[in-house]
Amino acid sequence: MLSLPPRVGLGADAPSHERIEDVIYGRKHGIALTMDVFKPREGAHGTGVIYVVSGGWYSAHEAINPEVFGELLKRGYTVFAVVHGSQPKFTIPEIIEDMHRSVRYIRHHAERFGIKPDRLGITGGSAGGHLSLMMGLAGRPGNPEAKDPVDREPSGVQAVACFFPPTDFLNYGQTGRDLFKALEEELAPFKAPFDFQEFDTQTRQFVLIRDLDRRREIAREISPVAHVTPDDPPTLIAHGNADTLVPIQQAEVVLEKLRTAGVPTRLVTREGQGHGW
């Protein structure tokens, strides 16, 4: 599976923290979108980190494991474990919208959570890393005319640190090899989140998008590499150079583009390690 990042244990000497479960950050199609908030009881310094609960674009509350981000809690970060609408029910474009909403919600309620709205980072592994990069590189401004005050907030973040993320669905593993070739091979178990749909206003139903040019355009839109600009936040990626599911080439191409744009970057290469280590 496109997996979660390696665990960092809480350890016996970990400081205690408060866990607020099932905070509703949005609603869609009659369901609630939730996150759990983890607040250090001591040493909190007002910086928040969004942890994207996602592996293969599958997300569930029971997948939240505080051991994964235990080191962040020990260092005084408030952690927001965000559960997004999950595949196979929802596709990646829909999932990305959930993530934008989560960032806006956290920022709007920064005072409630004891953080500064301009000190938000994001992390995740594999699919969670992809979504982290989308928030870092494709964050959006708020809509000042929005009825919901949450939607008036911007959805960008100030730092990205992620693990083995897909970044370029038009050049997957090598230049010119697109998503649709990868879906026949290493990404074959993950077809559902790429079943792009649109709403037919005449039939009043969702229909699959079958036009290949349109599908390629959506693949570009959901690729972090397509959204690089000079004002992107500092970005760190850790990746194994023996990863056959998400090749390290995916980290290299986005970081090279970020460096060219003048954005501070770092690649941590895990020698001989595959996906998820």
DSSP string, 103-163: HHHHHHTHHHHT--TT-EEEE-BTHHHHHHHHHHHS-----TT-SSGGGGS----SEEEEE
Residues in CB range of 141: below 8 A, 6 or more apart? 154
Q: What span, in angstroms and rounded, lies between the C-alpha atoms of 249 and 3?
A: 18
Contact between 200 and 207 (Cβ < 8 Å): yes
Residues in CB range of 57: below 8 A, 6 or more apart? 2, 86, 87, 92, 95, 127, 190, 193
Q: What span, in angstroms and rounded, lies between the C-alpha atoms of 98 and 96?
A: 5
Residues in CB range of 213: below 8 A, 6 or more apart? none
What is the model's pLDDT at position 2? Answer: 54
Q: Is the dihedral of CA 107, 15, 236, 275 positive or negative?
A: negative
Burial level of 236, CB count in 10 A (0-12/13-18/19+)? middle
With vertex at residue 91, the alpha carbon angle to CA 85 and CA 95, rounded to the nearest 5 degrees, is 40
What is the model's pLDDT at position 51? Answer: 99
CA separation, residue 211 to residues 249, 259, 267 (Å): 28, 34, 36
**In tens digits, what is the pLDDT along the chain, a chain of 277 residues?**
455 565 544 444 545 799 999 999 999 999 999 999 999 999 999 999 999 999 999 999 999 999 999 999 999 999 999 999 999 999 999 999 999 999 999 999 999 999 999 999 999 999 999 999 999 999 999 999 999 999 999 999 999 999 999 999 999 999 999 999 999 999 999 999 999 999 999 999 999 999 999 999 999 999 999 999 999 999 999 999 999 999 999 999 999 999 999 999 999 999 999 999 8
What is the model's pLDDT at position 13? Answer: 53
Domains of the chain: 17-270 (3.40.50.1820)
Q: What span, in angstroms and rounded, lies between the C-alpha atoms of 179 and 169?
A: 5
- Tokens found for residue 144: 């000042």
- Tokens found for residue 9: 């244990």
What is the model's pLDDT at position 16? Answer: 75
Q: What span, in angstroms and rounded, lies between the C-alpha atoms of 211 and 228?
A: 26
SS3 state of residue 25: strand
Contact between 148 and 108 (Cβ < 8 Å): no
pTM of the model: 0.93
What angle, 0 to 180 degrees and rounded to 10, lies between the N-to-C axes of helices 249-260 and 127-137? 10
